[in-house]
Amino acid sequence: MWKRTPEQIRHLIVPVVVLIVLYFGVRHLLIPSTYGLWGHYRANSVIENAEIPVKYAGSEACADCHSEISATKKEGFHRGLACETCHGAAYIHTQDQEKQKPQIPRTRANCLLCHEYQPSRPTGFPQVVSESHNPLKLCTACHQPHDPKPPHPPKGCEACHATIQRTISISRHGSLACTTCHEVPVNHKLSPRANMAKKPQTRDACGKCHAQDSTAGKEIPRVDMATHGGKYLCWECHYPHMPGAR
C-alpha cells in the first residue's frame, strides 16, 4: 500500500512525521517537571512566590521587646497605627537588632502626611493647617507620638471637623456655635467615638429660630412650620451648614 500512494505524499509524510515526533520529544525536555501539577502553571512558582523574604514585621512583632511602648500606644489615639508606618520596615531588626535600626522620624513632614488639613479627608479625622499650627515647633514638642493626646483639648470643633467649619463659616449660619444644634457630650473631645455628638431629630430644632412665633432676631427668615415642607424634616432639603444652597 505504501508503494501505491503517490510519490509526492510519500516524500511529504516523512519530514512531517519527523517534525511531529521531534515536537513531542522536545516538549518532554523543555516543559518544567512541576508544570501542570496543580493547574495550567508551574507549581514551583507558587512556592517561589510564597517564599519571598518579608520586609515588614507586623505590629505584633514589636510588642515582644518594646512592651512598654506597646502598652502605652494601645490606650491612645494611635492604637490602630502600626509601628512600622512611621518607623519603616523592620523585619530584619526583629531578627538581628544591630543589623537594622528602624528610623525615628523627627520632622513635621512625617506627621503632616496624615494630619495636614485636606478637604478630601473624612470628617472627624484630626487635622491641622500646618502653616498656622505652631509652625516653628516640632510636633513631638507637644504631642507624644505613642500617646498623641493634644496638650489641651481643642477649643472649637474645627480641629476635627475642619471642612464643615470652612463651609459653615461663609454661610448664613456662620455665626452660630456648633452646640446651637448639636448636643455634645462632655468627653467627646477626649474620646470622640465613644461619646458621639447628637444631631437634631425633630423640626422643632430648626423651629426654635425659624417658626413664625419664634423670639429670635428679626433678620432670621420665618416659615409656617405646619405647612412648609410637607412631611420632610428640614435638613432633608436644606443643608444646615450651607442653608442658602439648595
Residues that bind another protein (CB under 8 A): 6-8, 11-12, 15-16, 18-19, 22-23, 26-27, 29-56, 58-59, 80-82, 84-85, 88-89, 113-114, 116-122, 125, 245
Q: Based on CB atoms, which residue is closest to another protein, 60 or 183? A: 60
- Residue 167 CB, nearest approach to another protein (Å): 9
- Residue 103 CB, nearest approach to another protein (Å): 12
β-pair partners for 211: 223
3-state secondary structure 87-104: HCCCHHHHHCCCCCCCCC
Tell me the CB-side half-sphere exposure of residue 59, using CA atoms within 13 A.
13
Question: Rounded CA gap, 37 and 40, in Å?
Answer: 8
Cell, residue 176: 452660630
Q: Based on CB atoms, which residue is closest to another protein, 81 or 233? A: 81
Question: Rounded CA gap, 181 and 241, in Å?
Answer: 11
Question: Rounded CA gap, 174 and 186, in Å?
Answer: 23
- Residue 40 CB, nearest approach to another protein (Å): 4
- Residue 75 CB, nearest approach to another protein (Å): 17
Q: Based on CB atoms, which residue is closest to another protein, 82 or 159? A: 82
Instruction: Count H helices and E strands in the chain, helices first.
Output: 9, 0
Question: Rounded CA gap, 53 and 55, in Å?
Answer: 7
- Residue 80 CB, nearest approach to another protein (Å): 5
Residue with C-alpha cell 488639613?
Answer: 117
